[in-house]
Chains A and B, each alone.
Chain A
Amino acid sequence: MNAYLISRAAYHRIMPDDGLPHPATGMRLSELREHQARVIEMLEQGGAIIVHTDDGEHLLGVLTRDRRLLDEAAIAAMIDAGNLPPLHELIAMDDRGELP
């Protein structure tokens, strides 16, 4: 099973209201391995793990395999990287018949 850690910045871009998938919990990095079975179960249910450094000082990101979150993050990353115009521009391009 593959899961993805969405960085803090990317997560806040796609979920400005800090909404979370369900179920969700917080863990420190070293706890991920310690509670591996629970982590996998939560990810399989479409949930998310909020991952902090072991000293609890830094939020590393959100571990998830929720397709909706990953899709949103991927689209935001494509726009940020300049591989895709912002969505409002893309809609305007489509209205003008400029898309493939």
Chain B
Amino acid sequence: MRTLIAPLHPEVQQELQLLDRKRAEIARRYIRRLALEPYLGARVERGLLAEHGCRRIYFDHDDRPDDLFRARRPTLRRGDQDPSEGPRWRIVYWTPEASRSQIRLVVILAVAAGHPTPPTPNAYELATRRLEPLLDAFSKKGGSK
């Protein structure tokens, strides 16, 4: 199966432009790396994004996206730290597969902060807003609990 990065949504391009130069470059390098490692990010665990197998990469200014084999130990958030103290930024993405065509797409849904100051939406909220219309385009959703 071949993995292709879908052209970036204009809003995602805008989010990259709003990042400082170094973080924007790190985000772009992570996005390129997803063509080789589409499952690099951890699964999102809740909500619509989880239902559709979306993933997220945490990153910040000291990341090295090209460090495939973790030659340098990544900065990790300790358990006693507030979530906002870890890497601040998230790349949230979706990997739908066209199995008949043997194509896996990586659709970047958001590049944004994980815990912004309210009312600024966080990366997951933005990603959900962008995934919903993609799903609504072919279907009607019915839910039950």
Q: Are A91 and B4 in contact (CB under 8 A)?
A: yes
Q: Which residues of A contact B (CB under 8 A)?
A: 1-7, 10, 14, 36, 40, 61, 63, 67-68, 70-78, 80-81, 83-85, 87, 90-91, 93-94, 99-100
Partner of B98, one of A6, A87, A99: A87
Residue of B nearest to A68 (CB): B99
Q: Hey, which bits of chain B sit against chain A, CB under 8 A? A: 2, 4-9, 28, 31-32, 35, 48, 51-53, 96-101, 103, 105, 108, 134-135, 137-145
| Residue in contact with A70 in the complex, picked from B5, B35, B52, B108, CB distance below 8 Å | B52
Which A residue sits closest to B103, measured CB to CB?
Answer: A87
Bound complex: CA A77 to CA B139 (Å): 10
Question: A67 to B52, Cβ gap below 8 A?
Answer: yes
A79 to B98 CA separation, bound complex (whole angstroms): 12
Secondary structure dominating the interface of B: mixed
B-chain residues with CB within 8 Å of residue A94 when the two chains form the complex: 2, 4-5
Smallest CB separation, B136 vs chain A (Å) = 9
> Residue B96 contacts which of A74, A85, A93 (CB distance < 8 angstroms)?
A74
Contacting pair A100 B31 (CB below 8 A): yes
* Distance from B24 Cβ to chain A, minimum over Cβ atoms (Å): 12
In the bound complex, residues from chain A placing their C-beta under 8 Å from that of B52 are: 67, 70
> Cβ of B4: which chain A residues have Cβ within 8 Å of it?
90-91, 94, 99
Complex A-B, nearest 3 residue pairs according to Cβ-Cβ distance, in ascending order = A71-B96, A77-B137, A4-B139
